[in-house]
Amino acid sequence: MVLDEIRHYVVVLNEGSGILFQPVDSNATYILTAKHVIQNAQNTVQILKRFVEHDNILHAEDIPFNMSLGNNYFEHPDADVAILKIAKLQGLNQIIRTDDITADRESYILAGYPQMRRNLQIDPDYLNAYRTDEGITIQGPRNNSLREARIPDRPGLEEVRGHSGGGVGKIDDGFFLLAGIQSQMVDALDEQLGKIEFSPMSSFDSLVTLHPEHLVNLDPPHLGSFSFLTEASFLLRVNQFNEQNIAYTRNFLKTETEKIVNSGIAPHEIRRHFKRRLLLDQASPNVLNGRNIWIAWLEFLTIVNIMEYTDVEEADLKKLFNSFRLLYSDTTNDWTFEVQKMIHADYHGLPSGSVVVIGTNSSPLDGLYEIEAKTIPNLMRVTNKGLMQTDNGIKFPFDHYRFVHLDSFKKKCIIDKIAEYSHIFDEQQLLTKLQEEYEQYIDRKQN
């Protein structure tokens, strides 16, 4: 996602704004807004427009909405938040929530349709009314669950009015991370310039819990099912000359991912079980809401399924995590830059001699798909033992575990042996071949 694409998620709502958000709901899309945007319009929805692009031209579209309190409109009794539930819209997959606003405070954006930009005589469709304020800094908590934020250049109330219900967030790793919804300027008149208050996503969580029969958790769809990720798995990139030699194997592996989809295991269940223990960098919880970590998990579980000769189910997750652990980092650097984090990752419950699989956003450089203990510089062994997350008897992770990159199962077991796969067009024969390759690779000892 780039800055201009945020607009596709920002709607004109009465005299304010709103944010389109796709939760784990196959039939509905939500509009998150400030409650007073509806109340100030006599508790009605008078204007509701979104903006879509056709042939590089932006068009305004009215969103049909017949408001019914408690059925398709929900407001919090205390907090200044409300949710409009509309028929599902397609293509809203680049916005996810962030709750990491205490540690990550810089470089946020406020997106909405301020009043001073609205001129119905020359711009009846609000095409020129949109504005993003960049460089916003998150401040401390305020009353009624609000958070304070500071906009650069100290805009006044007239410049901000109409932004109510707009989104406060930031672009990261191809997503717009939504931190919350703009509510108001700060109360103190002598401090209003540039100081706003917004409702964090936790306020919307509170609203959702009040209506469990109508609203679902504000998680992106891919957390509800691995089915949203199957096409992005097992890409097995090769040159064009080898494409015909790998196509059958690639398609077979993608088909095998359906067993994980049908098992009932879902990303949100794995997240619920293990939380930040899934991450190399436990200070980056937003990674758990993204797609890449769950693409890695889909591939990992599919590989385990093939090796175990049986289907992995939710009840097996804890046992799997304590025998064959996947840890993920969203880095785009080479995985050797993550060694220090590997040293301090969470290994509780993992016995000595186990395999640790590392997933990252890029394939290893220089063909290094395994990091052996003997390659670790002595300086890295001099570490604060208090930071180690290991069980008794395990002093240094690289002396007790084998560290391999997730891509090694594609590179070492398939692509490097592509000639051996080029003539296999039988599912059982291919399954047996993959089982043998995976098992030999896992059982191989470090030199």
Question: Pairing state of beta strands 355-359 and 324-328?
Answer: parallel
Question: Pairing state of beta strands 175-185 and 95-97?
Answer: parallel
What share of the chain in percent tops pLDDT 70? 94
CB half-sphere exposure, 50, CA atoms < 13 A: 21
Look at residue 446 and tell me whether its pLDDT is greater than 90: no
Domain ranges of the chain: 3-218, 222-443
Length of the chain: 447
Beta strands in 142-192 (DSSP E): 147-150, 167-172, 175-185
State the pTM of this model: 0.84
Q: Which residue has the higher pLDDT, 160 or 431?
A: 431
pLDDT tens-digit map of 280-323: 987 678 899 999 999 999 999 999 999 986 677 878 899 999 99
Give the H or E element holding residue 250. Answer: helix 243-263
Tally of CB atoms within 10 A around 432:
13
CA pseudo-torsion sign 373, 374, 380, 385: positive
List, in order, residues 6 or more apart from 235 with CB less than 8 Å away: 250
Alpha-carbon distance of 89 to 158, in angstroms, equals 33
Lowest mean pLDDT among 269-273, 284-288, 368-372: 284-288
Q: Could you tell me which residues are beta bridge partners of residue 167? A: 111, 181
| Phi–psi pair at 198, nearest 5 degrees | -130, 155
Question: Pairing state of beta strands 370-371 and 402-405?
Answer: antiparallel
What CATH number should be reported for the domain whose range is 3-218?
2.40.10.120
pLDDT band at 389 (very low <50, low <70, confident <90, very high): confident
- Amino acid code (one letter) for 164: S
Alpha-carbon distance of 282 to 389, in angstroms, equals 12
